[in-house]
Amino acid sequence: MDFRRGFKDGLAIGLGYLSVSFSFGILAVTSGLSWWQAVLVSFTNLTSAGQVAGVGIMAAGGSLIEMAVATFVINLRYALMGVSLSQKTDDSMTTPARMLTGFFITDEIFGVASGADHPVSCRYMLGIGILPVAGWTLGTLLGAVCGNILPAIVTNALSIGIYGMFVAIVIPASRRTRAVAIVSLIAVMLSCIFYYVPVLKNSISSGFAIIICSVVASLAGAIFMPSRENSGGIGGSGAGASGAGTGERSEEGSNG
């Protein structure tokens, strides 16, 4: 019963991921990855912002350390979501079960599971995670294959779709919360500085620039604009894209 309920709850998330990951598949192929490498990245990561950052670092010839640290900083919010979600799990969530189902935690899955009116079981998490993983992986495959078939002008246009997703996540949250807008602007300004200032662009790789922007913007928000209210959980709000953890839930189908 719990598995079936989770499977049903994950249907809308999986459909949303199918469309969003299509753009990632095209982006990965245009960045130099083969179709099977793009699919492997999506199947083993399930995180849009971390994957985009990782592919960008690989395309720029960055080091493994850069990629590891950048994806760790960007995806750190999932650990916080796991801690929050653990407060409403039942006795079936043994340590091995937590390690297994922790892989399925994304912004949307966390939002649905934490808002459920019942304790979260291992079977429920397995059920809710199947379709999102399948949709994210299949969408990446379709995008990667189309990236090898469609004309370059079309693939270049479609590959920016995933960046549009990040904008769609950040803008509504920024309009609702002044702190989100300020932290996002800090990250954007820092990113522009690292890109357009020749000394910084030539001396700091894109991977470490992402890390610095994420950490500095997040610290600025945490120190000068701390959250003063508990909205019932730790949601994703494009933190991976802008480097700002905000406590707002992301839109359906954005994965993170």
Domain residue spans of the chain: 2-158, 165-242
167 Cβ neighbours under 8 A, 6+ residues apart: none
Whether residue 151 is predicted with pLDDT greater than 60 in this model: the reply is yes
Distance between CA atoms of residues 77 and 75, nearest Å: 5
User: What pLDDT, on the 0 to 100 scale, is given for residue 246?
Assistant: 36
Tell me the pLDDT tens digit for each residue of 10-68: 998 998 898 889 989 998 998 899 999 999 999 999 988 889 989 988 988 888 888 88
Q: Are 244 and 221 in contact (CB under 8 A)?
A: yes
User: What pLDDT, on the 0 to 100 scale, is given for residue 228?
Assistant: 63
User: What pLDDT, on the 0 to 100 scale, is given for residue 177?
Assistant: 87
Whether residue 111 is predicted with pLDDT greater than 60 in this model: the reply is yes
User: What pLDDT, on the 0 to 100 scale, is given for residue 203?
Assistant: 83
User: What pLDDT, on the 0 to 100 scale, is given for residue 139?
Assistant: 93
Average pLDDT over residues 171-176: 85
Whether residue 190 is predicted with pLDDT greater than 90 in this model: the reply is yes
Whether residue 92 is predicted with pLDDT greater than 60 in this model: the reply is yes
Tell me the pLDDT tens digit for each residue of 202-211: 888 777 888 8
Region of residue 247 (left: phi > 0; alpha: psi -120 to 50; beta: else): left
